[in-house]
């Protein structure tokens, strides 16, 4: 069985989308290939990496990448984590079977350890729900 490809997208690929990528690998890496990108990529934020590490989630290899790195690629799902990225990704020439828009607040606006932990928890909750829906859909596939 081929792994489904999932792209997490946000503005800078420094926190939210990196968290999504790492979480999906952690929760269901056997079924999904997770990557992330930003429309204006920056460096991974230290507090985002710390929040992941505190939950025992591997951060090795996480790096900020540009959406341009995925031009003309196909994804089973693209999960957009902020409104700004949603507006800017409309010109992207990649392809996706499923688009999800989760407007998750930017923890960089608060720059506290708790803000990053809260953001991680929100993404984790939504991802678990999405994964349970995917599993249910897979069970109904003949």
φ, ψ (nearest 5 deg) of residue 23: -65, -45
pLDDT of residue 142: 45
What is the chain's alpha carbon radius of gyration, rounded to the nearest angstrom?
Answer: 14
Residue 113 clears pLDDT 90, i.e. is over it: no
pLDDT of residue 93: 66
Domains of the chain plus CATH, in order, are 4-139 (3.40.50.2300)
Is the overall model pTM greater than 0.75, yes or no? yes
pLDDT tens digits, residue range 39-95? 889 999 999 999 999 999 999 999 999 998 998 899 999 999 987 777 766 667 678
What average pLDDT does the structure give for the chain?
A: 89
pLDDT tens digits, residue range 53-68? 999 999 999 999 999 8
Give the pLDDT mean for 6-15. 93
Rounded CA separation 102/47 (Å): 21
């Amino acid at each position: 069985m081929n792994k489904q490809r999932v792209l997490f997208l946000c503005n800078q690929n420094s926190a939210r989308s990196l968290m999504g990528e790492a979480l999906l690998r952690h929760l269901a890496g056997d079924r999904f290939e997770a990557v992330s990108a930003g429309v204006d990529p920056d460096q991974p934020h230290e507090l985002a990496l710390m929040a992941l590490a505190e939950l025992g989630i591997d951060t090795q290899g996480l790096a900020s990448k540009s959406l341009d790195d995925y031009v003309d690629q196909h994804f089973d799902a693209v999960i957009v984590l902020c409104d700004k990225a949603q507006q800017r990704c409309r010109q992207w020439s990649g392809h996706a079977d499923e688009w999800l828009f989760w407007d998750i607040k930017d923890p960089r606006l608060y720059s506290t350890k708790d803000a990053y932990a809260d953001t991680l928890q929100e993404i984790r909750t939504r991802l678990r729900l999405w994964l349970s829906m995917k599993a249910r859909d897979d069970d109904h596939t003949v």
